[in-house]
A and B are shown apart, each in its own frame.
Chain A
Amino acid sequence: MDCRDFKELVPALALETLDESERAACVAHLAAVGHHDGCHQAEPQARALVARLAGVLPDHPVKPSVWHAIEQRVRASGPPRPATRRRPRWRELGGWVVAVAVFALYLQKGPLRASSFADAASASPPAFEHAAALMMDQEMRRYVFRPARGGSARGTLLLAPNRRKAVILIDRVAPPPAGHGLQLWAVRGSGVPAALVSRLDPTNTGIAIADLGAILFEPTLPGELLLSSDPANAAAPHSVLMIASLTP
């Protein structure tokens, strides 16, 4: 689905009248990182317009007991939770759940909860799509990260040199503390590790997928990749979580 397709469907999306597969495709498109042609504006505009339709219905009286029940439940639930980055619910992805579960097993050969993995996939649909495409490429290479210092983090790198595409999948990685971020580092020859731009943002279940695009190949494929959890803008990796050797 591209932005034009999305905007064709956005009225029906706002009306919640799409079937599940179309709705999942729209949700995935909206969650996709990268350039959009007004999709993130079109969606709330359509929802705001649709919400105005309720105005043609006369208000319906609500029994006082409803508010009392709400008040009790609100007081029992405590204060509202602080703002967090919105993640699409995995349930919105329909058939994706099965697809990503198979994908996860292929990559990691480990027990992953489909819902957790789907949550990560939904946060990065293009990365998931690229990974699926790479899996079908006969030139695809797969590298497995090894955890550092006896940690439990796991990772897999898929790359296709002929297409200059690479995707990394990680799991069992705790979200970094405030002010820190997960950072990939490329080690070429005997040089110092160089930071790679990435979008590694694990879900609260410790899973992330990221599309590395062509940066991994610039200027040459590195001999090693490191994943660290360090303060933002760290000049060098200090807290290394896992390492992959890309040497043939």
Chain B
Amino acid sequence: MARGDVAALRVLYDAYAGRAMAIAMRVLRNETAAEDVIQETFLEVWRRAAEFDSQRGAIGAWIVTIARSRAIDRLRSSATTSRAIEAASGMLIPLPQPSPSEGVERRRDEARVTAALAELPFEQRRAIELSYFEGLTQGEIAAKTHSPLGTVKERVKLAINKLAKLLKPAEE
């Protein structure tokens, strides 16, 4: 793709657009805005293809990270942020339904991540979900959950560190 092969971009799009759309939808709660984010994401992937370094992570993670960042940028720059914070349910997300078309390895990883999230204490999991899936800052999470900011920071740190431990064996 770094040499300008649009077909290669299409392969990536087919593999990851659905996941990128899922996270953009989750953050923005607006299909049109999420579709704009997907366009921006894959244009950025195209423009920055030569910068991708596989030693820093998988390409799917890179694409999802770009999509989520663009969605959060849009969320935070819009006047509807406060409404989005209000809308953020804080409800724990439902378990995914595996799709037969998805790769076995991908489904296995999803199951492991889901199980690892389930092992987190409720408040830590909620902090992760409000930050990752709703795009809230730690300050906004503190306001939303009526918790001290320091407590939220500690929950985020502990949660990620625990997830890293729980998910590490598969990476080795």
Contacts and interface: CB of A to CB of B under 8 A. Distances in A.
A55 B113 contact: yes
Given A48-B57, A80-B49, A86-B51, A63 B35 contact: yes
A235 interface: no
Contact of A70 (B3, B4, B39, B159): B39
Contact of B21 (A61, A78, A83): A61
A15 B113 CA distance: 16
B88 interface: no
A67 B136 CA distance: 29
A79 B48 CA distance: 10
A61 to B, nearest CB: 7
A51 B136 CA distance: 16
B148 interface: no
Interface-central residue, A45, A48, A55, A60, by most chain B CB under 10 Å: A55
A17 B68 contact: no
A18 interface: yes
Interface in A122-169: none
A12 B60 contact: no
Contacts of B57: 44, 47-48, 51
A66 B38 contact: yes
A136 to B, nearest CB: 31
B43 to A, nearest CB: 6
A155 B117 CA distance: 54
Nearest to B117: A56
A83 B132 contact: no
B114 A67 contact: no
A66 B37 CA distance: 10
Contacts of A218: none
A198 B57 CA distance: 32
Contact of B1 (A19, A48, A77, A80): A80
Given A19-B137, A57-B26, A73 B51 contact: no
B160 A15 contact: yes
Interface string A15-56: 111110000000000000000000000001111111111111
A74 interface: yes
Nearest to B135: A16
B35 A56 contact: no
B50 interface: yes
Contacts of A70: 9, 13, 38-39, 42-43
Nearest to A50: B132
A52 B2 contact: no
Contacts of A48: 56-58, 61
A171 B75 CA distance: 37
A73 B113 contact: no
A124 to B, nearest CB: 21
Q: Identify which of A44, A59, A69, A84 gathers the most chain B CB atoms within 10 Å of its CB.
A: A59
A213 interface: no
A227 B132 CA distance: 48
A98 B19 CA distance: 39
Interface string A58-95: 11111100110111011101111111101000000000
A62 B17 contact: yes
A55 B117 contact: no
Interface of A: 8, 11-12, 14-19, 44-63, 66-67, 69-71, 73-75, 77-84, 86
28 contacts: A8-B157, A16-B69, A16-B72, A18-B138, A44-B57, A49-B160, A52-B109, A53-B128, A54-B22, A55-B109, A56-B93, A56-B110, A57-B26, A58-B22, A58-B96, A59-B99, A59-B102, A62-B17, A66-B38, A70-B9, A70-B38, A70-B43, A74-B46, A80-B4, A80-B47, A80-B49, A81-B48, A83-B51
Given A60-B18, A77-B43, 9 more contacts: A11-B161, A12-B131, A12-B157, A15-B128, A16-B72, A59-B19, A62-B21, A79-B4, A86-B51
